[in-house]
Every structure is written in structure tokens, then in C-alpha cells.
Amino acid sequence: MNRQSHNIEPVYNEKSKVLILGSFPSVKSREEKFFYAHPQNRFWKLLAALLEKEIPTSTEMKKELLLNSHIALWDVIQSCEIKGSSDMSITNVSVNDVAGIIKKSEINAVFCNGSKSYELYNRYLFDKAGFKATRLPSTSPANAACSFEKLLNEWRILLDHL
């Protein structure tokens, strides 16, 4: 396993109301230097469906969709040892300053994209951030057993906080 560092800046501004946290970027996302870059990850398709917008295709369009919708996006982990993109292999975690984003914005809810980010948020960041997080089903291709319709239904709670 290799030690990897997060190479993607958080997306947020002072008007962000919701924070979505992943665990750590996939190999593809680290290569592209932006969140959820794996073509099989359903994050961008899901977010577009929830917000009734077109699916963004470029990094700039993705940032615009997030910021215009008052959504902040980042990951719990700043660096870790990881094998490929497997959350199950993550060890020796250092975390990001999530509390800093919350203090600089209007965030009123924190959502975790999957079990690993939820587990790590609660272990390392809950006390500093001061927000109880809601675990949502992962949009990862590794969670293929969860249908798109189920994802859409579960993730709809996000809209209540925007």
C-alpha cells in the first residue's frame, strides 16, 4: 500500500448550505484532480437529477452546479495508505479541516457519501465540526447493488437543507 495525499481543493463558498463528504478520491479522481471522475460513479448523474439540471461534463460545470446550488464538496481524508481506490484498504488516516469550511459558510447539514466517510467523520471530525452527519448510500460503482432509483430516493433528503 502506498501513502497518498489528497490533491483536490474543496468546493464551497460563503453561501454553501450543505456539505457532502466522501472518504478519499479514487485513483481516477486523483488523476483528473476532481471529485467523482470515475465514469461509473453515479454522483454527478444523481446530483443533476436531484437538482433537475443537466449532467455536468466539465470540471467547471461541476463546480458551477455545486456552488449555484449552495452545495459544498470535499473528503474526510487528507492523506492515508490505500490500495487502489478501495475504501476497505484505507489505513493511517490524516483528516481534512472540515470544521474550517463549516465556519466560513452557511452549512446547516453534513452528508456522507457512503459508510467509510460516515465512519471516519464520526471518529475524527464530529467533535470539531459540531454537526451530526447523515450517511447516504454510496454513489460508487462498488455499490452497484443499490439501484439509481434507491439512490435518488435516499439522497432526496439533501434538498430539505438547501
Q: 6-58, pLDDT tens digit by residue?
A: 999 999 999 999 999 999 999 999 999 999 999 999 999 999 999 999 999 99
- List the domains of the chain with CATH numbers: 2-161 (3.40.470.10)
pTM tops 0.85, yes or no: yes
φ, ψ of residue 142 in degrees (nearest 5): -70, -15
